[in-house]
Structure 1
Amino acid sequence: MGEQRRKRKRVRLRWGRVFGALLILCVFFIGIYSVYQYIQGTLESNNKTFKNDQGNHAFEGEKSEIGDVNVLLLGSDSRGEKQARTDTIMVAHYDQRTHSVKLISFMRDMYVSIPGHGKQKLNAAYAYGGPELLRKTIKENFSLDINYYAIVDFKGFEEAVDILVPNGIQVDVPHVMTSGIGMEIEKGKQTLHGKELLGYVRYRQDRLSDFGRVQRQQEVVSKIVEDSVSLRNVAKLPKLLGVLNSYVNTNIDTTTLFTIGKDFVTNNSGDLETLRIPENDTFENIRYEDIGEVLEVDFQQNKEALKEFLEGENHNSDGQNEEDKSDVG
C-alpha cells in the first residue's frame, strides 16, 4: 500500500510539473505574440503619411489608480500646422470597479469662461493652451475633474476602426453626404468602414450642423464599443496600440492603456451611455459680432445633469428630442 501511495504521489508531482511548464510556455508565447503584434502595428502606422509630431503637453489632471477615470478625448485634424484644430471634444468616463463606460460630448460652440482669456467658445481653450487649458476650462465651467487626455488624429480613427471592427458598422444615412468630407456617402442603410465612417461622423452641412455631428459621433462610438467588446479582441490590443502609437498623443502610459483596454473588452458591461452638453432647453443661440454664433448655456442645469449622469442615473441620451431638432443649428 505504501509503495502505491508513493507512485501516485510521484505521478501527481510529474503532472504538476508538466502543467506548470505548459503554463509558462503559454505565457511566453503570448508575450512574444503581443510584442510581434505591437511591432507590426507600429511599422504599419509609420509607413503612413501622418506622424503625430505635436509633442507632449503639460497636463495637471490628477492621476487615478482605482475607481473613476475621466479621459479628455480630442479629435484632431492635423495638417502639419503647429497647433492642429480640434473639432471633437468628448470625455470618456470609465469605472474600473463596474467596468462601465460613459461618454460625454461637449459642444465646441458653448460660450464659456476660459481662465486668463475671458469669455470665448469652448474650443478656443485648446487653441490658446492645449489640453491643459481645456481641462481647466471644463473644470471651471462644469465642475468636472479630468485625469488624462488623448488627442486622436482622424487618420488613427480610421485604422483603429478597421482593426476593431473589420466587418464595418451598419448605419442608416439620412441623406447623401458630400460637402466637406472628401467623399460621397449614399443615402440609406449600409455598412461603412474606417474611412467612410470618419466622413459620416465629420459631416455637418445639414440643418442640424454640429448637433447632428455630435449625434452621429455618439452613435458610431456606441456601435464600435458594442461590436468590439469580446474576448477575441484582446489579441488585437497589442497591434491596436502599435498603430495608435503614431496617431495618438496621450499622457496615459502604455501599460495602463493596455490594462484598461483588456479589462474593458473582456467585461461586457452593457450599452454605452451617452450625454450631450448642453442638454435640451438649457441653452440659447446668440450671435456676437466679434465671435459669431455661440451657445449661451445654463451652467447650473448642465452641472446637475452631469452629476446625475455620472452618479448612475439612466440617462442614455444625446440630449436631443426629435421635436427640438429643427430649432438648433
Structure 2
Amino acid sequence: MRKLLKYFIMLLLLSVLVIGTGSYVYLHNISDINNTSAFNDNNDSKLTRTKSSPKRDKKLNILILGVDHASKGDTGRSDTLIFVSYDPLTRRATLISIPRDTRILLDKYGYQKINAAYAYYGPDGSVQEVSKVLGVPIDYYVLIDFQGFKKLIDDLGGIDFDVPVDMNYDDPAQNLHIHLKKGMQHLNGDQALGLVRFRYGYADADLGRIKTQQKFLKTLFDKIVSPSSIFKVGSIYDVLTHYVKTNMPAMTILSYVDDLFKVNKNDIKMETLPGEPKYIDGISYYIYDEVKTEEMMANLNKLQDDSDVASSSSSTDVNPSNIKVEVLNGGGINGAATSVARLLEKYGYDVINIANAENMNYRTTQIINRTQNKAVAESIKAYIKNSVVIDENPTSNKPDVTIIVGSDYNSN
C-alpha cells in the first residue's frame, strides 16, 4: 500500500510539472490501467483513436489547456495554454506559455485569437494550432476545468503567495470577481483562480499574467511535495477524476513515473512564446515572432554549454527563486528591460518589477546588489555581458537587486 501511495504521489507530481496555470494536476488513475478511467477523454476523436504511445527515445510533447465556461453548457475557451516538452534522455523539461491572444489564421474562421481554436474545434483543434505555431508535433493534451482548479487549491488548504499587483476586476457574465491586494497572503481556491486569470493591471498585459502563473506553479509544486499533502491524496484524487481529461494512455503515463525520482527541479525551464502585443483593426492580439520561435524550439531542452556551466559554478550557493529583482530600462533600447527580465525569469529569478529608469543616459548596464552576498551579483552578471556590479547596503523598500539596462546592452 505504501508503494502504491508513493507512485500515486509521483503521478500527481508529473502533472504538477506540466500543468502551469496553478492547477497542474495529475494525468490518470493508476488503479485503472484500462481505458475506462474518468481521466480518458470520452470524445471519439480521430486523434484519440489513432494516437500511439511515444517511444522513450524521443521527446514527449503535451499541450495543457485550462478552460473556462461562461455558463453551464457553454463550450468554453482555452483561457490558458501551455506546451510541455520532456526529454527522457536528458531528463529536462521545458514549459512554454502561449498567450491566449496569439493571432492565428483559423480554418473557415479567418484570423482569430488562438484560444478560439478550442471553442470551434475542441482540444484537437488547439493541439493542431499550437503545433503549427511551434513547428513541432504534439503527442497528447490535458484538459483542466477551472472549477476543479479551485477545489484542488481548497483541498490543499490554500496557498501562500506574494501577489505582484493590486487586482480588481469584475465580469458578471462569467461570474468572475477578482479583488486582491498586492503582497504576501493566503489564497483560497477562488482567490487563486482570480490570481492566475487576472491580466488587466499588468504593464505588459497577458505576459504579466503568464509570469504570475509560472511563479504560482513553483509555489504550488512546493506545496504538493510537502509532507502535509500526503494526507490529502483522497480528496485530491476526487478532484482529478471529475475535472481533468486527457487522451494520454495510462500505460504511457506509468512509463514516465520513475523519471520523477531523477528529474531535478532546476532542470525545468519556463519560456514564453516570443512576440509582442499589437492592436489590429481595433482588436488586441499577440503577434508571435516566427524567427525567434524557431530559434527557441531549436534549442528546446538544450544542455548548457561549457561557458554557461563554468559561469554558474561559482554561484551554486545562490537560490535564484529567493532573489527579488527589478529591471529598469536606462538606455532607451525598446524592450531591453523586458528582454533581461525574461532571461532572468528563465533561470528562476523572482522579477518583481519592469519599468523605465529615471533617465535614459546609462551606457553600461549596472547590477545594484543589496544582498551583501557577492555571489548573487556574480550569478546575474554571468547572464548579462559587459555589465558592472555596484554594492549597496540593504534597504527595506527596495528589492535585493536592481538592474539598470544600459544602451550598450546586447541580447545576443
* TM-score where L is the length of structure 2: 0.56
User: What's 2:43 paired with?
Assistant: 56
Higher helix share: 1
SS at match of 1:182: strand
Q: Distance in 1 between matches of 2:211 and 2:131?
A: 23
SS at match of 1:200: helix
User: What's 1:124 paired with?
Assistant: 116
C-alpha contact 1:57 1:132 (8 A) present in aligned 2: no
Q: Distance in 1 between matches of 2:279 and 2:270?
A: 26
Q: What is the aligned counterpart of 1:245 among 234, 241, 252?
A: 241
Q: What is the aligned counterpart of 1:211 among 207, 213, 216?
A: 207
Letter in 1 for 2:43: N
Letter in 1 for 2:114: L
SS at match of 2:170: coil
Structure 1's 174 and 65: CA in aligned 2 closer, same or farther, altered over 3 A?
A: same
Letter in 2 for 1:286: Y
Structure 1's 283 and 128: CA in aligned 2 closer, same or farther, altered over 3 A?
A: same
User: What's 1:142 paired with?
Assistant: 134
Structure 1's 203 and 273: CA in aligned 2 closer, same or farther, altered over 3 A?
A: same
1:88-167 equivalent positions in 2, closer than 5 A: 88-115=80-107, 117-163=109-155, 165-166=156-157
Mapped pair 1:193 → 2:153: no
Report the Cα offset of residue 306 of structure 1.
Answer: 2.7
Instruction: Report the identity percentage.
Output: 24
CA RMSD of aligned residues (A): 3.8
**Deviation readout 1:99-130 (Å, 9 max, x if unpaired):** 44321110121222334544322122222211
Q: Distance in 1 between matches of 2:44 and 2:179?
A: 36
- Length, aligned pairs only: 276
Mapped pair 1:288 → 2:281: yes
User: What's 1:9 paired with?
Assistant: none
Report the Cα offset of residue 213 of structure 1.
Answer: 1.6
Structure number with higher relative contact order (C-alpha < 8 Å, ≥ 6 residues apart): 1
User: What's 2:77 paired with?
Assistant: 85
User: What's 1:302 paired with?
Assistant: 293
Letter in 1 for 2:243: Y
C-alpha contact 2:63 2:138 (8 A) present in aligned 1: yes
Letter in 2 for 1:102: T
In structure 2, runs of 5+ residues without a counterpart are 13-28, 30-37, 309-342, 357-412
Letter in 1 for 2:100: R
SS at match of 1:112: strand
Report the Cα offset of residue 307 of structure 1.
Answer: 2.5
Letter in 1 for 2:215: E
Report the Cα offset of residue 300 of structure 1.
Answer: 2.0
Larger Rg: 1
Structure 1's 172 and 62: CA in aligned 2 closer, same or farther, altered over 3 A?
A: same
C-alpha contact 2:78 2:116 (8 A) present in aligned 1: no
C-alpha contact 2:87 2:301 (8 A) present in aligned 1: no
C-alpha contact 1:74 1:89 (8 A) present in aligned 2: yes
C-alpha contact 1:276 1:318 (8 A) present in aligned 2: no
SS at match of 1:160: helix
C-alpha contact 2:67 2:79 (8 A) present in aligned 1: yes
SS at match of 1:105: strand
Letter in 2 for 1:203: F
**Deviation readout 1:270-310 (Å, 9 max, x if unpaired):** 23421111x2xx44513125xx2223332122121233243
* TM-score where L is the length of structure 1: 0.69
C-alpha contact 1:286 1:296 (8 A) present in aligned 2: no
In structure 1, runs of 5+ residues without a counterpart are 1-24, 43-50, 325-329
C-alpha contact 2:148 2:239 (8 A) present in aligned 1: yes
Letter in 1 for 2:61: N
Letter in 1 for 2:265: G
User: What's 2:15 paired with?
Assistant: none
Q: Distance in 2 between matches of 1:167 and 1:295?
A: 32
Q: Distance in 2 between matches of 1:151 and 1:235?
A: 26
C-alpha contact 2:53 2:252 (8 A) present in aligned 1: no
Mapped pair 1:73 → 2:68: no
SS at match of 1:126: helix
SS at match of 1:205: coil
Letter in 1 for 2:221: V
Q: Distance in 2 between matches of 1:63 and 1:247?
A: 23
Q: Distance in 2 between matches of 1:157 and 1:261?
A: 23
User: What's 1:12 paired with?
Assistant: none
SS at match of 1:133: helix
Q: Distance in 2 between matches of 1:228 and 1:101?
A: 19
